[in-house]
Amino acid sequence: MSGRKNPYLTVLFSVICAVYIFPILVLLINSFKTKEAITRQVFMLPTAETFVGLENYIRGVAAIDFFRSIGYSLIVTALSVALILLCTSMCAWFLSRVGGRLCRALYYSFVFSMAVPFQMVMFTLPYIADRLGLTSPWTIPLVYLGFGAGLAVFMFTGFVKSIPLSIEEAAMIDGCSPLSTFFRVVLPIMKPTYISVAILQTMWIWNDYLLPNLVLDKTRGYYTIPMAIQSAMTDSYGTVDYGAFMALLTLAVVPIVIFYIACQKHIIKGVISGAVKG
């Protein structure tokens, strides 16, 4: 490859990038403006009269107890992802190493579940979760494990098949039990898959709206961030406080951007290796 860079393309992409990031900037700008200024001149920078400092943030956070929602979102996402990683990796290893008709049937049921849209279970799953008492942020991870197992089992199985059996057999001969073989030998080898699965599941669960909205017990105030945003917009009956709403949207975007910048490389790798799910 020659060292010659194409300056026109660089300029072109800089312009497209600026357009691309523009909505986020507009959001940020408007979170510091008065309600009237937002609806009247959305693209204008705040002026002396329209600048309100952190007022929107204070009002928004107070109105819907937003930090509590961030807490719930963190609990739900972290617990669910941890549970999915641990359980489905063990399950996938077991299924592909034991083999046989039953294991294959189970594996194909997991694959099948990937093709089923949530709408298919959206009326029955909340009923079952409610009957079993899985309606708090600490118990909903079990629901996520069940509904999200398909992709995770599929990805882990794909990787397990590429690990040579001889490594595990050597460990077993040396006296390792299956459990210690899994945790000491298999788990370290599968690290890249763990990261990919973790990224994909985090992206899904953190942003998921419909499932937690139907399953979590809202009478106890269990609102995740997407639920809180949606209720802030719809429960106000036409008199939406746009200033506070912009502040809330900004607060919802910030953690994601930080997370993204911190583990960008892994995220992109995860996307490429998980690019099978529809």
Partner 1 sequence: MNKMLKKWFPIFLIPTLVAFFIGFIVPFFMGLYLSFCEYATIESPDFVGFANYARIFTADSQFWYSLGFTALFTAVSVVVINVAAFAVALGLTRNIRGTNLFRTVFFMPNLIGGIVLGYIWKMIINYGVLIPLFGKDLSYSSTYGFWGLVVVLAWQQIGYMMIIYISGLQSVPEEVTEAAKIDGAGRWQTLRRVILPMVMPSVTICTFLSLTNSFKLFDQNLALTDGKPGRLTEMLALCIRNTYGTTPKSHGTAQAMAVIFFIIVAVIALLQLRSTRSKEVQQ
Which positions from 150 through 179 interact with partner 1, judged by CB under 8 A? 150, 153, 165, 168-169, 172, 177-179
The whole-angstrom separation of Cα 34 and Cα 242 is 8
65-124 residues in contact with partner 1 (CB under 8 A) are: 87-88, 90-91, 93-95, 97-99, 106, 109-110, 113, 115-117, 119-124
* DSSP per-residue codes, 154-172: HHHHHHHTTS-HHHHHHHH
Nearer Cβ to partner 1 (195/229): 229
Q: Which of 75, 111, 187, 210 binds partner 1 (CB under 8 A)?
A: 210
CA 268/CA 273 separation, integer angstroms = 9
The two three-digit tokens of residue 155, written as one number: 């990805």
Residue 68 vs 147, nearer CB to partner 1: 147
Chosen residue from 208, 222, 244, 247 binding partner 1 by CB under 8 A: 208
Query: Per CB under 8 A, does 245 bind partner 1?
Result: yes
The only residue of 13, 51, 108, 183 in contact with partner 1, by rule CB under 8 A: 13
Beta-carbon contacts of residue 197 (< 8 Å; ≥ 6 apart): 84, 85, 88, 89, 151, 152, 155, 156, 270, 274
Smallest distance from partner 1 to CB 34, Å: 13
Handedness of CA 167, 169, 173, 178 (dihedral sign): positive
Q: Kindly state whether residue 127 participates in binding partner 1, applying the rule CB under 8 A.
A: yes
Contact indicator for 90, 187 with CB cutoff of 8 Å:
no
- Count residues contacting partner 1 (CB under 8 A)? 104
